[in-house]
Structure 1
Amino acid sequence: MIPYGRQEVQQADIDAVVEVLRSDFLTQGPMVPRFEKTVADYCAVPHAVAVNSATSALHIACLALDLGPGDWLWTSPITFLASANCGLYCGAQVDFVDIDPRTYNLCPEALEKKLLEAERTGRLPKIVVPVHLCGQPCDMRAIRALAKRFGFKTIEDASHAIGGRYLDRPIGNCEFSDITVFSFHPVKIVTSAEGGMALTRDPVLASRLARLRSHGMTREPSEMTHEPDGPWYYQQIELGYNYRMTELQGALGCSQMQRVDLYVARRHELARRYSELLGHLPLTLPWQHPDSYSGLHLYVIRLRLNQITRTHREIFEALRAAGIGVNLHYIPLHTQPYYERLGFKHGDYPEAEQYYAEAISLPMYPGLGDAQQDQVVAALSTALNS
């Protein structure tokens, strides 16, 4: 089976992890701060806070921005569960904004329309979470303008997007957002096994993010409510969590970051080759906005169902039967049973539902060889023409 995504672990990665295993620190040592600095420097942002998953990063990002009961968080319906669940973890309510039919990202025009309606009803969001689906950045300049106009905070869910650029600036530099979140899950562009990171330009937010990932605790006298009793002293300032990243993960992340540009470049080679080989088939191929350089975590095709005789499911199952590990990113969140119990229903976000009815994620990872890619294309061509 050719998987849809796969990590690449080289000997340098293994050596980096083994070196930590032989060191004095398996947790809370020098490697996690080094990983944070590596990512921050790469993204040209002053602060980065590493955690054990992107889900944890989204959660503490919401907490750091004071999201709570009575507040609203809005995000895209085409994303992984965590982009919305992070709002529920804070006791807030969640709503969605439909996607742009070309980029599959949260649509700024739909966002503006929904904001105008929410302004009239007194239900403006406190936080909006644009999701850079497949690695292509959202129209962050337009979203930032709306944030200033309507007074909401912005968390970029860039879980798919490290190594990409927007307006020729690195994704993660937070020029158009308050916080950006990355994922380092094994199928992502670079991996720390599990892991995530929250980046910001705001030193106060950075300090709070760091505190929230570690039980809400501080050892900094300047953050304490009274003088420390001695050099051993710490204080819990607020309710936090144990979301810390280990030294093993930090070492792996540091090693992998040395190849991030090579990995993204290879993904672009594969995407160009897919587009050349698939151009004659009844498919809608990924469109890249000229303002962006995608991290290309995913290569999503859409079936032109009115031009083929088989169903979406039949094509998907035919590819799986041929040994092609395709996937579907994502099931619209508002159609999940949990969210249906919150009042959402089919038909609420038609662009997202149309996308779901047609989308298939093809294998995309740096180790995918040309011969394997040819196998994917042949299987897809056969399935479409059967």
Structure 2
Amino acid sequence: MAALEATLESGWVAPAGPVPAAFEAALSAATGFGHVLATASGTAALHLGYRCLGVSAGDEVWTSALTFVATVAPAVQMGAVPRFLDVDPASWTLDPDLLERELARAARAGRLPRAVVPVDLFGQPCDLDAIVALCDRWGVPVMCDSAGAVGASRGDGRHAGRGARLAVFSFNGNKIITAGGGGALASDEPELVARARSLSQAAREPGAHYQHETTGHAYGMSSLLAAVGLAQLGALPARVSARRAVFARYRAALGGLPGLSFMPEAPWCRASRWLTAVLLDPTQGAPDRDALRRHLSESGIESRPVWKPLHLQPVFRDAPRGGGAVAADLFERGLCLPSGSGMAPPEQDRVIAAVRALWPAA
């Protein structure tokens, strides 16, 4: 509230002035990226990233099948063709072995993708080092969709997304750090962020009058959103610890239930555990996913299936894909439990009790 009041009193409300710049600097410090552009949304950041990578009509853009539609929607709206690749069951993120086979096939056919966009799912970083190494072999740029992974890191301490040419973050209302909306595009290549910044400001050329060599967008983050995000960013380590504690408490209380398992943490990272996701196996004594979801809803508890894979979405029924059975199985059996950083133990106990009620012998 103090940050919002100070911003309003300063007269800076638009996407300009000291507060968005301060937010960008703080995010740069928190993530280790050399250059950051604050945007109106994570989707806006993705759109700018696709433009900076030169995506155009007819190009192929490859991404994980298991993600939110915003990962690829801007590229599709630009006329690109999406190709959805399956995930590794050990991490739920893009399978590098499958990616290698697909890149080799595409190279033989003379049709490499314009970009590969792996996803840090539910706060878990993908195997970015392996993905970037493969894409570098064929000269394909990587933009990492780290929208839900602010605060997550790899084993060597690098923040999620570091190593890709571009990384995208989201500060939507459900994220660990929120501005009530907003996003960011980050890179260690200053020219990419400078290009994105120009495009985010309607692609206006320097000068006293309005001069345009191309068209751009109104994609800057407002000072008000930046003030909210900046006020919260200092609490990022504590909020990641709180999410991991929520996950650990769920695992301790529910991990012994027959047929229930948790989204694994990949050995190459420290996930933020933005969302706690469980996997249900009815053949081992668990209820099916929808039975548990309905039961929780009847108890006044919101839960949600994991992302429906994009290759199963009607809008992408004709899109090419590589595999997809793993992502489809995770969708059929996966459920995200309440995971907020501010969950008090009694609130979590209520969720735990409601889940355990469907295992009569537990």
Alpha-carbon distance between aligned partners in 2 of 1:269 and 1:351, rounded to the nearest angstrom: 28
RMSD: 1.6
Q: Does the CA-based 8 Å contact 1:163-1:170 persist in structure 2?
A: no
1:105-124: CA deviation from partner (whole Å, max 9, x where unpaired): 11111111111221222221
* 2:289 is the alignment partner of 1:302: no
Provide TM-score, normalisation by structure 2: 0.95
Match of 2:111 among 123, 134, 138: 123
* 2:5 is the alignment partner of 1:15: no
Going from structure 1 to structure 2, the CA distance change for 1:299 and 1:259 (only over 3 Å counts) comes to same
Match of 1:374 among 349, 358, 361: 349
State the match for 2:98 in structure 1. 110
Alpha-carbon distance between aligned partners in 1 of 2:102 and 2:8, rounded to the nearest angstrom: 51
1:26-68: CA deviation from partner (whole Å, max 9, x where unpaired): 1112100110010011112211001100000001100011011
Q: Does the CA-based 8 Å contact 1:172-1:181 persist in structure 2?
A: no
State the 1:104 CA deviation.
0.7
Match of 1:195 among 165, 182, 187: 182
Match of 1:278 among 254, 275, 283: 254
- SS of the residue corresponding to residue 72 of structure 2 reads helix
Match of 2:31 among 27, 43, 52: 43
Alpha-carbon distance between aligned partners in 1 of 2:319 and 2:156, rounded to the nearest angstrom: 40
Q: Does the CA-based 8 Å contact 2:85-2:323 persist in structure 1?
A: no
- SS of the residue corresponding to residue 248 of structure 1 reads helix
Q: Does the CA-based 8 Å contact 2:202-2:215 persist in structure 1?
A: yes
State the match for 1:311 in structure 2. 288
Q: Does the CA-based 8 Å contact 1:147-1:153 persist in structure 2?
A: yes
State the 1:234 CA deviation.
4.3
State the 1:237 CA deviation.
3.0
Provide TM-score, normalisation by structure 1: 0.89
* 2:194 is the alignment partner of 1:207: yes
Going from structure 1 to structure 2, the CA distance change for 1:173 and 1:94 (only over 3 Å counts) comes to closer
- SS of the residue corresponding to residue 56 of structure 2 reads coil
State the match for 1:350 in structure 2. 325
- SS of the residue corresponding to residue 28 of structure 2 reads helix
State the 1:308 CA deviation.
2.7
Going from structure 1 to structure 2, the CA distance change for 1:384 and 1:333 (only over 3 Å counts) comes to farther
Alignment of 1:261-276 (within 5 A): 261-276=237-252
- SS of the residue corresponding to residue 153 of structure 1 reads coil
Going from structure 1 to structure 2, the CA distance change for 1:207 and 1:172 (only over 3 Å counts) comes to farther
Alpha-carbon distance between aligned partners in 2 of 1:328 and 1:310, rounded to the nearest angstrom: 14
User: Which structure 2 residue ranges, 5 or more long, are not aligned?
Assistant: none
Alignment of 1:93-242 (within 5 A): 93-172=81-160, 174=162, 176-219=163-206, 228=207, 232-242=208-218
How many pairs align?
359
Alpha-carbon distance between aligned partners in 1 of 2:181 and 2:288, rounded to the nearest angstrom: 35
User: Which structure 1 residue ranges, 5 or more long, are not aligned?
Assistant: 1-13, 220-227
State the match for 1:79 in structure 2. 67
Alpha-carbon distance between aligned partners in 1 of 2:123 and 2:327, rounded to the nearest angstrom: 17
- SS of the residue corresponding to residue 293 of structure 2 reads helix
1:316-362: CA deviation from partner (whole Å, max 9, x where unpaired): 1111111211112201111111111x3469x9510010001100000
